[in-house]
Amino acid sequence: MFSLQISSQYFKIWYSILIFILLLIFDYLLVHLIGLGYNESLKWLLLIINCFVLLFLVIFNSFFILCLILFTLPFSKGIFNFEISVITFNPYTMGIIVLSFYSLYCIFVKGFRYNFDVIDLIIALICISFFISTILADNVIDAGFLAFHDIFIPVLSYFVIKTLINNDFEHKQAILFFIVSLSIYGLFALVEFLKTYQRVFVFSVPPIGVATFLSVSILYLFYNKWYKNFFGLIGLIINLGGFIVTFCRVYTLTLIFSPIFYKLFKNGKAFIVIVFFFLFSLLATMFVTYSPNIFNVNEKICMKIRSEEKTIKRLLDINFYKCSLYGRAIYYKLGFNNFLNNPFFGVGFYRGKTKGLPVITQHNFHIEWLEFGGIFGYLFYIFLFILFFKKYGPFAYDNFIVINLLIIFIILCNSLTNGFMHGKMPYVAFIMIGFTAARYKIINKNLK
């Protein structure tokens, strides 16, 4: 009987993999056809087929499909992306949406315990607050498009992971699937660097996004000591190599100093660290915003070095740091003024230009949360991370939780000069929040 159960499990796994791979091949072929023909009907057909196949696979083997969906995240944007109206779909977004409906079914029909807590409440308030900001935005469609990727899908990722991961095996397997995917992605980063010898864009993901992904696998492989295994060591080398060629300054510094933060978190100091970080970073942001001339920038030098922005000199030349901080200070002032003009719910997400300057992000999470979401959006985000670190910081004995806290903290450190509400940072942060909540649920279940 036991051998039959094992055979049945393996059948489900390999059957799911086969169908999922065939679906990805189908997507790849049609996306390229769409890229040539812009056929709206074909896009709708692709979306419907994906949803039906994913729903079938989720019902057949929900946990393993979650693992496969996580596996596709690094590759989704550049290979499988397609747009219908203003919404961008790919295997990750479609999979997470289907899994979220299945999660609701598990909670309300199958009797899964979700344990709605204060973290869930704050996340719900973030969604409500930014929904209001989106409705009030000058360009509702543009704001909605960005909110879909920077809030809606990341939050669903958290919800799905917290709901569907229910034991130690599932928790570790999901993380391993994610790390294997990121390691393969790191290999592509190295190959891309060897082609250009410049900062790498991998499958349309910019260097900051690449570094965000690879920092996750580096921290897990190193601090869980999985590098002592041969394949773990190879994975760590690949991820470190791919990370280095992103030439991301703040991420590099935080990884170098991560042993200090890891030690503090292991000693139960996570809450103190995050409170101090938010207070210090807010004061530093306000100081830089209104004192840009402290960097003593020579604008001619800044113009000259701009052509070398994609090379390793951006890590080694002090002028790169000064020019970058000076430029960011200008953006900070613009964003803060937008907040002062719309103090309660902000201006919503937007792209384009502000006073002639191109805007993708204001390069600072304090400014972003204030400008995009107003005082309500800002406070909800601050409360989320403070309460998150307060709740899970005491679980310093669990290395998975400590590593998750460390990853989120390092993302926030990078977000101080690169912004949080764009790219892959919201995705990875909420995935880590989901893994932490799932781990907490498992710990409590094991104690009973």
Q: Is the pLDDT of residue 324 over 80?
A: no
Whether residues 98 and 154 fall in one domain: no
User: For residue 1, what pLDDT is reported?
Assistant: 42
Whether residues 233 and 105 fall in one domain: no
Distance CA 124, CA 376 (A): 13
User: For residue 298, what pLDDT is reported?
Assistant: 67
Written as one letter, the residue type at 398 is D
Whether residues 294 and 382 fall in one domain: yes
Query: What band does 4 get if pLDDT is binned at 50, 70 and 90?
Result: very low
Total domains present in the chain:
2
Whether residues 385 and 342 fall in one domain: yes
Q: Is the pLDDT of residue 119 over 70?
A: yes
Q: Is the pLDDT of residue 100 over 90?
A: yes
Q: Is 117 among the domain residues?
A: no
Residue 428 or residue 61, greater confidence? 428
Residue pair 435/177 in contact by the 8 Å Cβ criterion: no
**Exposed e or buried b per residue across 160-175, where buried means at least 16 C-beta atoms within 10 angstroms of its C-beta:** bbbbbbbeeebbebbb
Q: Is the pLDDT of residue 7 over 60?
A: no
Q: Is the pLDDT of residue 306 over 70?
A: no
Q: Is the pLDDT of residue 3 over 50?
A: no
Q: Is 197 among the domain residues?
A: yes
DSSP H stretches of helix in 61-201: 62-75, 91-108, 118-136, 140-147, 153-164, 168-196
Least-confidence region, from 108-112, 268-272, 431-435: 108-112
Q: Is 337 among the domain residues?
A: yes
Q: Is 120 among the domain residues?
A: no
- Please compute the mean of the pLDDT values over residues 298-323 and round it to a whole number: 68
Whether residues 86 and 156 fall in one domain: no
Q: What is the mean pLDDT of the chain?
A: 88
Pick the last residue of a domain from 48, 80, 112: 112
Pick the last residue of a domain from 49, 83, 112: 112
Strand positions, DSSP E, 322-384: 352-354, 357-359
Whether residues 79 and 183 fall in one domain: no
Both structure tokens of 93: 């977004």
Query: What band does 182 get if pLDDT is binned at 50, 70 and 90?
Result: very high
Residue pair 13/61 in contact by the 8 Å Cβ criterion: yes
Q: Is 312 among the domain residues?
A: yes
Closest CA to 416 of 366, 359, 373: 366
Whether residues 163 and 26 fall in one domain: no
Residues whose CB is less than 8 angstroms from the CB of residue 382 and which lie 6 or more positions away in sequence, other chains included: 278, 369
Whether residues 142 and 15 fall in one domain: no
Residue pair 150/349 in contact by the 8 Å Cβ criterion: yes
Least-confidence region, from 47-51, 149-153, 211-215, 398-402: 47-51
Whether residues 169 and 33 fall in one domain: no
Which of 143-152, 201-210, 382-391 has the highest mean predicted lDDT (pLDDT)?
Answer: 382-391
User: For residue 392, what pLDDT is reported?
Assistant: 97
Q: Is 320 among the domain residues?
A: yes
Written as one letter, the residue type at 140 is V
Q: Is the pLDDT of residue 68 over 50?
A: yes
Q: Is 299 among the domain residues?
A: yes
User: For residue 8, what pLDDT is reported?
Assistant: 59
Pick the last residue of a domain from 81, 112, 143: 112
Instruction: Give per-residue pLDDT as tens, 208-257.
Output: 999 999 999 999 999 999 999 999 999 999 999 999 999 998 999 999 99
Least-confidence region, from 44-58, 113-127, 303-317: 303-317
Query: What band does 314 get if pLDDT is binned at 50, 70 and 90?
Result: low
Q: Is the pLDDT of residue 323 over 70?
A: yes
User: For residue 292, what pLDDT is reported?
Assistant: 74
Closest CA to 20 of 62, 63, 69: 69
User: Tokens 């790390």 map to which residue?
Assistant: 179
Written as one letter, the residue type at 445 is K
Residues whose CB is less than 8 angstroms from the CB of residue 431 and which lie 6 or more positions away in sequence, other chains included: 70, 154, 157, 158, 161, 178
User: Tokens 């393969």 map to which residue?
Assistant: 184
User: For residue 425, what pLDDT is reported?
Assistant: 94
Residues whose CB is less than 8 angstroms from the CB of residue 172 and which lie 6 or more positions away in sequence, other chains included: none
- Please compute the mean of the pLDDT values over residues 203-208 and round it to a whole number: 89
Whether residues 107 and 135 fall in one domain: no
Whether residues 340 and 421 fall in one domain: yes
Percent helix, percent strand, percent coil in the chain, to nearest 5: 80, 5, 20
User: Where does residue 430 rank: exposed (0-12), middle (13-18), buried (19+ CB within 10 A)?
Assistant: buried
- Calculate the CA 165 to chain-centre distance: 19
Q: What percent of the chain has pLDDT over 90?
A: 59
Written as one letter, the residue type at 192 is E
Structural domain boundaries enclosing 331: 126-448
Whether residues 108 and 130 fall in one domain: no
> Angle of helix 153-164 relative to helix 425-447, nearest 10 degrees?
20
Q: Is 193 among the domain residues?
A: yes
Written as one letter, the residue type at 18 is L
- Please compute the mean of the pLDDT values over residues 264-292 and round it to a whole number: 93
Q: What is the pTM of this model?
A: 0.93
Query: What band does 289 get if pLDDT is binned at 50, 70 and 90?
Result: confident
Least-confidence region, from 290-294, 317-321, 411-415: 317-321
